[in-house]
Structure 1
Amino acid sequence: MSFTGIFNRAVMAAVTLFGVAVIVFCLLRIVPGDPIAMMISPGASADDILALRVKYGLDSSIPVQFGVWIREMLTGDFGTSISLKRPVLSLLMERLPATLELAFAALVFGVIGGGLIAILATLARRTPLESVIDVLNGLFLAVPDFVWALLLVLALGVAIPIFPTSGRVDPSLSGDFATNFYLIESLVTLRFSLFFNVLSHMVMPVLALGLPLAAVIIRTLKEALNEAMLQDYVLLARLKGMSETRLVVQETLRNAIGPTLTLTGVQFTFMIGGTVIVERIFSYPGIGNMAIDAVINRDLPLIQGIVLMFGLTFVLINIAIDLAGNFFNPRLKHG
């Protein structure tokens, strides 16, 4: 990718984030409800209410509030949470690693599981096994992540209690980490008991998020592989005696990755948004769970910070998709 292409993407990312900031800031100010009213005691005076408004910058007009917020945000000050009384940026940095580990674990599960099943279905095309895979995959596509979460809690948390149904690690072990990247830290430091404890808490949330993603990958990659199997170069390779497995893995897979990669990136952004409900169901201490509490408490600074963090994540993922698309498709390298 050329320098001009990278510069254009950076400019578009900045414009997108600014647009997200404007929209979320304005929407939060026009929806019904007063965050200050949720903080004051029944006997608070008018002076007490005014003091709180001044403290959180809610006494000025909306344009002035927006200008102050943008100016402070550019210096790294995202404001102070109304409900938690802590800096928003520190709260985000504290919860973000949990959500990132969960999302990327679900991505790895979805890509590997979906990719392998798509290859299997391609090798089994025009057989009863392909029909079974298609029927099951259609079912998986129809079930959203939060339904999978509820089903997994009932099946593997209540009926057959194999995995923990809440939290990120056993409370007795939560003080054994130097960073908030529990899974990565425990693996790098070779503390496998901690690693498997963290992993056991992630299994059901990862399955809930990863199963719909795997279903999308199966359908997309299978269709791309079947289309590639009809090309002339595959017929020539087959005439030379190449086995079906080698045809799929060595010849057609690299040509089918492009469209699958693009759609996977889009679905990954949707999946990150889905962590809000899934984290709530499993009481997983990530940004999504915190977002619901922030909305309930009308915590404007925290909501704004969370939405911007999600927006930044989506922008970075889209840039990564573009770069990966250029890498896997040589025709786009000079575009």
Structure 2
Amino acid sequence: MTTALNRVAMMVVTLFGVTVVVFVLLRVAPGDPVAMMIGPGASAADILALRVRYGLDGSLLTQFIIWLKALLGGDFGTSISFHRNALALIAERLPATLELAVVALGVALLLGFTLAVAGTLAQRRIGEVAVDSLTGLMLAVPDFVWALALVLLFGVALPLFPLSGRIDPSLGGTFRTPFYLLESLVTGQAAAARDVAAHLVMPVLALALPLSAIVARVLKGALAEAMVQDYVLLARVKGMSEWRLVTREALRNAVGPTLALTGVQFTFLLGGTVIVERIFAYPGLGNMAIEAVINRDLPLVQGIVLVFGALFIVTNLLVDLAIAALNPRLRHG
């Protein structure tokens, strides 16, 4: 109980630190958001009125206190560029980003586990060299470079998948929730599910390939250590096949470190959605973040960064709990 309370307290302190850093950095960065909104012939009174409207007329400390009070009340402010509630805008775009990130994580885990098991089964043979070379290539190329390569390959040379968007506009009005892929699968909308999946293929691969290489390398190393343990050697003496040794005996004991690293890397994957969404014009939170930064939309940028920060913190907490659940010594310690 005490440990859980300490973790929650640390979450609050970390999130508060994020709010301070984001607020200060945005205020000291060059550029005036009011100047980008108002016409060249505006009077001083017009400029002052806009500053008062968006809370930019006071000192830095005064602005922070006003903003923090509103934030505690669930008010993220009004977007300067969209003229709408910032929290409502974030809530509209966040499900698309979460769906993209979760699917990419699933693909990364599937591919990473497959490569790790294949490399372990082919230990000290040409297959292991091939797996190590492939994971090295996947890890060396950043996600945005993969995105550009996929655009050229599957969008231009072999136009198999849509280059932009999330769904065909003719199908977009049939959804009741913002989680298009999940809803289409649950409700049996086959045509919509295929279209959403087709739009996801390239951005998901761009995000998943580097992460799957990390998963494969960490899990392969953990499997190599597990394969020389006494319980594996005893199972081998009893005649258990290599496939069962790896997948039944070694894998369940090697998955812990991989899970911990995957949780940490998932937070970086969320951050990587910003550039990947921009490349594919994917209507998620990352794409909107770039637009908000370009327009110096302070309330929207602050809200987006806070949401990303909260996602990072909650993800790390869930990973810690999952590791404790899988490890009896941590669960009962």
Q: Give the TM-score, by structure 1 length.
A: 0.98
**Equivalent AA in structure 1 for residue 95 of structure 2:** P
**Structure 2: distance between partners of 1:278 and 1:178:** 26
| Residue aligning to 1:109 | 107
**Structure 2: distance between partners of 1:263 and 1:95:** 27
**Structure 1: distance between partners of 2:41 and 2:215:** 58
Does 1:236 find its partner at 2:202?
no
Q: Secondary structure at the match of 2:171?
A: helix
Q: Find 1:200's aligned residue among 176, 198, 204.
A: 198
**Structure 2: distance between partners of 1:175 and 1:233:** 56
**Structure 1: distance between partners of 2:312 and 2:216:** 23
Q: Does structure 1 retain, via aligned residues, the 8 Å contact 2:118–2:131?
A: no
Does 1:42 find its partner at 2:40?
yes
| Residue aligning to 2:178 | 180
Q: CA deviation at 1:230?
A: 0.8
| Residue aligning to 1:144 | 142
| Residue aligning to 2:128 | 130
Q: Secondary structure at the match of 1:77?
A: coil
Q: Secondary structure at the match of 2:70?
A: helix
- Of 152-161 and 260-269, more deviation after overlay is shown by 260-269
| Residue aligning to 2:312 | 314
**Structure 2: distance between partners of 1:41 and 1:300:** 19
1:9-55, Cα deviation, whole Å (9 max, x unpaired)? 11110100000000000111111110000001011000000000000
| Residue aligning to 1:278 | 276
Q: Does structure 1 retain, via aligned residues, the 8 Å contact 2:162–2:198?
A: yes
1:240-280, Cα deviation, whole Å (9 max, x unpaired)? 11111111111111110111111111111111100000000
- Superposition pairs for residues 49-128 of structure 1, below 5 Å? 49-128=47-126
Q: Secondary structure at the match of 1:162?
A: coil
Q: Does structure 2 retain, via aligned residues, the 8 Å contact 1:170–1:197?
A: yes
1:103-146, Cα deviation, whole Å (9 max, x unpaired)? 00000000011101111111111111111111111111100100
Aligned residues: 333
Q: CA deviation at 1:192?
A: 1.1
Q: Find 2:168's aligned residue among 154, 170, 192.
A: 170
| Residue aligning to 1:209 | 207
**Structure 1: distance between partners of 2:147 and 2:303:** 26
**Structure 2: distance between partners of 1:31 and 1:280:** 23
CA RMSD across the alignment: 0.7
Q: Does structure 1 retain, via aligned residues, the 8 Å contact 2:38–2:47?
A: yes
**Structure 2: distance between partners of 1:253 and 1:56:** 55
- Superposition pairs for residues 18-33 of structure 1, below 5 Å? 18-33=16-31
**Structure 2: distance between partners of 1:126 and 1:55:** 68
**Equivalent AA in structure 2 for residue 191 of structure 1:** Q
- Superposition pairs for residues 296-307 of structure 1, below 5 Å? 296-307=294-305
**Structure 2: distance between partners of 1:244 and 1:332:** 30
- Structure 1 consecutive aligned stretches of length 4 or more whose deviation exceeds 6 Å: none
**Structure 2: distance between partners of 1:115 and 1:155:** 26
| Residue aligning to 2:152 | 154
| Residue aligning to 2:13 | 15
Q: Does structure 2 retain, via aligned residues, the 8 Å contact 1:165–1:201?
A: yes
Tell me, which stretches of 5 or more residues in structure 1 are unaligned? none
Q: Does structure 2 retain, via aligned residues, the 8 Å contact 1:81–1:302?
A: yes
**Structure 2: distance between partners of 1:18 and 1:301:** 16
Q: CA deviation at 1:183?
A: 0.9
**Equivalent AA in structure 1 for residue 164 of structure 2:** S
Q: Find 1:265's aligned residue among 257, 263, 266.
A: 263
Q: CA deviation at 1:334?
A: 2.6
1:127-185, Cα deviation, whole Å (9 max, x unpaired)? 11111111111111100100000000000000000000100001122211111111111
Q: Give the TM-score, by structure 2 length.
A: 0.99
| Residue aligning to 1:223 | 221
**Equivalent AA in structure 2 for residue 201 of structure 1:** H
Q: Does structure 2 retain, via aligned residues, the 8 Å contact 1:213–1:267?
A: yes
Q: Secondary structure at the match of 2:75?
A: coil
1:272-315, Cα deviation, whole Å (9 max, x unpaired)? 10000000000000000000000000000000000000000000
